[in-house]
């Protein structure tokens, strides 16, 4: 089972991304927390502990897809990996188009890569 901890629910994933996750029997979305920019290290540590406990309470985890605020991700990934939980990042190609002076970026999934 893949836990998707990001701001991009699996219901919005493209077919290639769903296929890449296909080695996982199921995807469970866990919305990424809003991380306050005012929070100190103790705040991040508490948030990490809260999410770590949520994740390990889910039975059958094979990996966690985690993308978001860097300090939170780093500390959570470090903790998960220390407990032998595989952590994945998604990689994309960005296509930028300019329309009427406005740049529009589209991100296309390429693959999952292990942290």
Reported pTM: 0.86
Domain interval for residue 109:
2-114
pLDDT digits (tens, 9 = 90+) for 99-111: 898 998 888 899 9
pLDDT digits (tens, 9 = 90+) for 1-53: 899 999 999 988 988 888 888 755 589 999 999 999 999 999 999 999 999 99
Taking CB atoms within 8 Å and a gap of at least 24, the contacts of 66-73 are 66/5, 66/6, 66/115, 67/5, 67/6, 67/7, 67/8, 67/32, 68/5, 68/6, 68/7, 68/32, 68/33, 68/35, 69/32, 69/35, 71/35, 71/44, 72/33, 72/35, 72/44, 72/47, 72/48
The structural domain count of the chain equals: 1
């Amino acid at each position: 089972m893949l836990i998707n901890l990001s701001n991009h629910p699996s219901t919005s994933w493209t077919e290639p991304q769903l296929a890449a996750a296909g080695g996982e029997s199921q995807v469970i979305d866990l919305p990424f927390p809003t991380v306050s920019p005012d929070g100190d290290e103790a705040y991040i540590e508490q948030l990490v502990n809260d999410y770590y406990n949520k994740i390990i309470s889910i039975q059958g985890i094979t990996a966690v897809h985690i993308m978001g605020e860097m300090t939170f991700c780093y500390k959570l990934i470090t903790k998960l990996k220390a407990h032998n939980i595989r952590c994945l990042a998604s990689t994309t190609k960005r296509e930028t188009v300019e329309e009427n002076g406005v740049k529009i970026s589209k991100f296309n999934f390429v693959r999952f890569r292990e942290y």
